[in-house]
Chain A
Amino acid sequence: MIKRLKDLKKTILESQVWRSMFRHDYADTPRNRTLQIMSNVWMHLHPPKVRRHAIRIRFTWCMGGITFLLFLVLTVTGVVLMFYYRPVAEYAYADMKYLQFDVPFGMLVRNMHRWAAHGMVITVWLHMFRVFMTGSYKSPREFNWVIGVILLTLTLLLSFTGYLLPWDQLSIWAVTVGTNMARATPLLGHEGPFAQVAGVTPRYDARAFLLGGTIVGPPTLLRFYVLHCIFLPILASLLMIVHFWRIRKDGGISGPL
């Protein structure tokens, strides 16, 4: 019996199908440890080896990794929510109620999306804090810090555009307060310095461009939805690719020279 099982295992492991998927066996050898990372598309985000202190939680706080994990959670839960939600002023709020009361696990998915979004804002700040405190932005990692700052801004914008989508009192007034700032933009906002010079009006200024009108209305909802679900996530993903790639190209995680 045991011999048969061993034979079966051998047959499977040496089959063409298995070997086409897994290029190495699992025995714990240095070569396989390296191949586990190198021959796996997800794992090869990592180098085969890292400096010993890189896995110390007291050094990294794991904050960059948690931020990325939360981004993945947000992507998955966000796609689920997109199945049920329509970014139309007449339907948006009703769809939220539908998610809350009728969709199986709808409220759980919405809660996870909401709390993960708040969590990501916090972890991305803490990640920046850790990177600053360890001086990891210093040469040769200057440019990756700049990309990180852009990603921080994108995280805030993603959270802010998502804030409007429930289309309740909390969301439209928070977005009203936030976007009101745009009308004070120098030259580009109708209440900003030198507005007369640029000739902007309430209907044609930076804020109207952002909102698709003079108030936070149905066009704003559609705009923010598209920004939230398509434009900003794609931009953030592209920059994340560069961010992770640059970590390795700039010499891996920082450490005492």
Chain B
Amino acid sequence: MAEAPGRAAVAEKAKVTPKPKIKPIEDKIHCWPYLVRSEYVCSIIITALLMVWSIGINAPMEEPANPTNTPNPSKAPWYFLGLQEMLVYFDPWMAGVVLPSLIIVGLMVIPFVDINPKGNGYYTFQERKFAVTMFLFGFLILWVSLIVTGVFLRGPGWNLFWPWEVWDPHKVVALTNVDLPYWGPFKVLGNPKIFDVELLGLTLVTLYLTVLPVAFWFWKSKTSPILQELGPLRYGIVAFLFLTMMGLPIKMFLRIAFNIKYIWVTPWFNV
């Protein structure tokens, strides 16, 4: 951010003064000693910190493994607690398999769908607002905050406990969650089915994942140079990954605000 005005000023200056014929030599410095000594000092500091930390704090060690005694709560390692936390809102096939895979694949495709040439090699928000916003939302809001919730706020029965509350294994939480067809205004539809598949959920999921992005494409692609440059394939991938990611906060909201469990129930899987 701080660099942006500086560069702009340089660009302004370059317009006024005639351009030099020879490309200026890049501002480079020798790795030895300038980089190597920083790395050396950094290694010493990190190693010393790790030693002091390891002398002071012991790694956890509990009773011997006992397959007949399940602790409550059983928690995955802390870095997977974001995924375990998603289990509250999605079934295991989604929270434990499909979404983690999509996170990995989604991260991998970032360089191929982000075709904005700006912001390559320097910090900027102004020049790539959408990309930075999406990444911060996915990483800080979803990934990190769900891990914090899983580590600090989940107690026995995976119930929510504030840090000052005592973990009561007998805490009673009313199970009032209902599936979407049996909730409020949708009750009047009577949950129509075709081949045992709920039509309401089918319609909503299809609308969300196909009609919505396609409609947006036809509405905006004529006037938006970004969408034209992106092309239908890249746009489709971005839209799919974006909508899948937003599925989590949407389901969190529906659960917390309206106690809705599943949007769509089928004989094979539930969403």
Contact = CB atoms under 8 A, between A and B. Distances in A.
B99 to A, nearest CB: 10
B132 interface: yes
Interface residues of B, number: 77
Given A33-B32, A100-B61, A170-B62, A138 B120 contact: yes
B121 A185 contact: no
A160 B111 contact: no
Nearest to B64: A93
A43 B36 contact: yes
A33 B269 contact: no
Interface stretch (A8-16, A172-180, A230-238, A239-247): A172-180
A199 interface: no
B76 A115 contact: no
A52 B71 CA distance: 53
A138 B117 contact: yes
Nearest to B29: A52
B168 interface: no
B28 A51 contact: yes
B93 A185 contact: yes
A33 to B, nearest CB: 4
Interface string B57-69: 1111111111101
Nearest to A92: B65
Contacts of B98: 186
B270 to A, nearest CB: 9
B75 A168 contact: no
B132 A169 contact: no
Contacts of A177: 74-76, 84
Interface residues of A, number: 91
Q: Would you call the interface of chain A mostly helix, strand, loop, or mixed?
A: helix
A163 interface: yes
B126 interface: no
B128 interface: yes
A49 B63 CA distance: 53
A169 B66 contact: yes
Contacts, number: 229
B46 interface: yes
A47 interface: yes
Given A168-B64, A168-B65, A193-B268, A174 B76 contact: yes
A135 B120 CA distance: 5
Interface stretch (B48-56, B212-220, B229-237): B48-56
A201 interface: no
B92 interface: yes
Given A49-B28, A170-B62, A257 B120 contact: yes
B256 interface: no
A226 interface: no
Contact of B61 (A52, A96, A134): A96
Nearest to A116: B50
A227 interface: no
B33 interface: yes
A166 B63 CA distance: 10
Minimum-distance CB pairs A-B, first 9: A181-B96, A184-B92, A142-B111, A111-B54, A254-B121, A114-B59, A193-B269, A36-B32, A135-B119
Interface of B: 3, 7, 26-36, 38-39, 42-43, 46-47, 50-51, 53-55, 57-67, 69-71, 74-80, 83-84, 91-93, 95-98, 104, 107-108, 110-112, 114, 116-124, 128, 131-132, 135, 139, 268-269
21 contacts: A33-B33, A37-B31, A37-B36, A50-B29, A70-B46, A108-B54, A111-B55, A115-B50, A132-B110, A135-B119, A139-B111, A145-B108, A153-B104, A172-B65, A173-B74, A174-B77, A180-B96, A182-B96, A186-B97, A189-B97, A257-B120
